[in-house]
Structure 1
């Protein structure tokens, strides 16, 4: 069995993880460039935890400027087996008001211009994204939320826009009419890269606003969002603490195979593979490339 190591990526308003004990800060080098921030490595209730601030302290990085490949790569190098994204988002549903946590089970990608794969010329791979979230990990988060009395909806579709601007009204109404639940700017290509790195991935989408479709809340402002962010951050810390308390100490195999996503994904013949790219893939794909 593999030891469970829980990775936490903190989004807007989450630049540290309260309750993390025995903390050491570590900068792990990645062949994919600079990650968002140093890793904060410690434990909660004896469970190893690796925390990263997605935007860095002071919210230095725009969603479009984050090096998602480096972030996932260093999480993998740090031994993370299960990765949770804590992310601020806007809501498309009246029944998902600010303060609600949505445990997303589907994604729609509307980003552009972001590097979305570790693979490419010299080593091509196609992983399944039909079910982008690890269901067992999502259910463990739901159980922790219930135990702490935190309002959490157990499914929903997250549409990821490029940003950094907020939606136009036409975009917002389109996504609402398509039945999507929430909108954010960061969980893609993060979820795709986590799958390529064979990490079990789940998102806690923390609603801060109604985007701009709502006639009574039609102007999304940073000031309004920050007020809700602070309350959400407190609840997120409680959620993670409870999750860590109840989390199995040995990694549970993912029922949909997130942790073995590369078993049948690499299509490039061994003799056609680029040695330089293979070096960069040592952490992400070493299990299958060196096996």
Structure 2
């Protein structure tokens, strides 16, 4: 009887040791699983950020797929949109299989490690995407970079649009109310980096019977970011700066002028409009 009791106790102890060993082995195996070694695995594409938040335990995988992008709509303040998709999965011979629930539609992915990186391939597609392992602090930096990316892209698009419009403008005209002088500013070259070259034609009604009309052309060099504009030229042997600001798009701008005590409004004109204004001003001045 004592012998049977002894073997019973031994069996229970053996079972407990086996369970403890199995549990410890599983815990060690789970800790070694690279899915459990990072807070997230991140991938970005054209301003959209994706990341997997994953845990692996006893061959089963749980987590979420996050998608974050910057949304801009006319008449609304820009905002960051984040979507979360629940994920389940399991280990496979190759690595893992993930199943992502996209509003009831199940998307299946194969995944495996290449060094520290997680390669993910949607089933049925040839290409795979490389997700970088990150901790929470690094993930926060990725989110900030997406916000910066959109701000930078918006600014790049604004500048491209502005210079495209600027290239289509023949020139800019200003005429005084009393008809004493007229200015025509022509931009010959405008680079995306902001550099400008061109000329400023000053047409003067001198009021002098012997020489009623004069015109002087000044070479211009300048810079603009599509909002502010600065030109530099030489007047009477001295470098002179003209400063101003563009209106909406490239339709016109205000600009300082060395004989005026305020900025002068220039508006865009076609070649035909300039020639007509030029001839009218010259004819009027010479009819003194």
TM range (shorter): under 0.3
> Going by fraction, where is strand more abundant, 1 or 2?
2
For normalisation by structure 1, the TM-score amounts to 0.18
For normalisation by structure 2, the TM-score amounts to 0.18
